[in-house]
Structure 1
Amino acid sequence: MQTIQQWLQLFTEQVSQTSFWEWAAVLFGVTEVLLAKVNNIWLYPTGIIGTTIGIYMLIMAGLYAESALSVYYIVMSFYGWYHWVKKRNEARVNISRATKQEWVTVALIVFVGWVLFYFLLTRFTTSTVPVWDAWVTSTAWAGMWLLAKRKLENWILLNVSNLFAIPLLFHKHLIMFAALTLFLFIVAIFGYFDWRAKLKTAQVS
């Protein structure tokens, strides 16, 4: 069993071996999150650049399902960018909790997506981690669906995905991507409690 010192040594070694492109993708990713926090439209171009670099890195690491998820992120970023400019002065959809029917949809996205991605990864790719790659992607897709509908529980699904993605990325020696995902995990925790407080305020008023 590895000691804490051995884990720290492994972490240090992997950081020193991190490529320029991985650093760049992480830098753009952090910038995107910070811009999103202050509601700045530049979050979209920075996110698109960072995600594009990340797709290349994920493919090289054999995380094909996560690569497909990143393509979806880019499409949704262009979509969000367009609607931000077009409808920036319109009222947002209110935050609400997921209904029972929506939880059924979430379950379908997660488990049907998991099986589908696993089948595609094992049949058409050289993935060495098809089970976990498929799981991370399917739970993230469910979380993004809830996010689009402004459902409080989106943060839970996104953090289920993040929780499994961190060791998966570490296993694939994408240490800075793992660190970025840990950062997103923490942000999502604060996001959940922030949305919950806003929901309670809206229900009282």
Structure 2
Amino acid sequence: MSLANVLDPLQQPLFTLLDTPVSWTEVLGFGSGALCVWLVARQHIANWPIGMANNVFFVLLFTQSGLYADAGLQIVFIALAAYGWWTWTHGGGPGSVTQALPVRRTSRTEWTWLIAAGAVGTLALTLLLDRATDSTVPFWDALTTALSLMATYGQCRKRLESWWLWIAADLVYVPLYAYKELYLTSVLYVGFMTLCVLGLRGWHRDLASGPLRVREATA
């Protein structure tokens, strides 16, 4: 049995929303994505494996929709999730005084590198998507990819400002996915913005109260 035959059931319509079929892939991406962001906001270590599953669903979904940069981004997210999982449980590296990584602010040096990398990445991806693919939204696909990578780096390192980067990305994702007729995913990203605000507030409280251990107990 080929891989295509195995994945085909996930691509079948489950129901119709606004006259547009919604596949199992989009529904599973919706559920796992919402759970992942909620767990991140609570600093729960389980966000990383749940996030990896979410990335797999979105690789399939975005490839079908011609959002190639977003599809490739999910592969990078899986690698970053492995890194984030390690840093959250080891305090950021050997010799750390705490086992759990505490919430911190993004340094000026980090901001400089993040903004430079984001600008270069957006430009390079826009040119690549415009010339090498049939993407109808090369700039917006590239911009959201760059913002998401910047935010994920901050999330891996528990930088407070990573929530602001996610909010900025979500403000573009919502209309982008609606334009691509991924209406359920667009609604999901509206929910993500709400969870980002809650996560921002929660991490800000943790920053004010000092380092906290990662919450490993299940709810």
TM-score range normalised by the length of the shorter chain: 0.7 to 0.9
Q: Residue 36 of structure 2 aligns with which residue? A: 32
Q: Name the Cα RMSD after superposition.
A: 2.6
After the TM superposition, which residues 162-181 of structure 1 pair with which residues of structure 2 at under 5 Å, given as runs?
Answer: 162-181=170-189
Task: Give the number of the structure whose residues are more often strand, by fraction.
Answer: 2
Tell me, yes or no, if the aligned pair for 2:87 and 2:156 is still in contact at 8 Å.
Answer: no
Count of matched residue pairs:
191
Q: Is the contact made by 1:21 and 1:53 (CA closer than 8 Å) also made in structure 2?
A: yes
Counterpart for residue 64 of structure 1: 68
The higher relative CO (CA closer than 8 Å, separation ≥ 6) is in 2
- TM alignment of 1:117-196, pairs within 5 A: 117-196=125-204
Specify the alignment match of 2:3 in structure 1. none
Q: TM (normalized to structure 2)? A: 0.76
Quote the residue 1:8 is aligned against. Answer: none
Moved more, 128-137 or 175-184: 175-184
Q: Secondary structure at the match of 1:48?
A: helix
2:58 paired residue number: 54
Distance 1:61 1:118 in 2: 17
Return the letter of the residue paired with 1:25. Answer: G
TM-score calculated relative to the size of structure 1: 0.81
Distance in 1 (CA, whole Å) between partners of 2:73 and 2:145 is: 6
Can you give the 5+ residue segments of structure 1 that lack an aligned partner in the other structure? 1-10
More helix by share: 1
1:100-122 Cα deviation digits (max 9, x unpaired):
22221121122111101111111
- Please show how residues 92-111 of structure 1 align to structure 2 within 5 Å: 92-111=100-119
Q: Percent identity?
A: 25
- Higher mean C-alpha displacement, 21-30 vs 162-171: 21-30
Partner of 1:76: 80
Q: Secondary structure at the match of 1:18?
A: strand
Aligned residue number for residue 19 of structure 1: 23
Rounded to whole Å, the distance in 1 between the matches of 2:82 and 2:53 is 11
Q: Are 2:123 and 1:115 equivalent residues in the alignment?
A: yes
> Does 182-191 or 75-84 show the bigger shift?
75-84
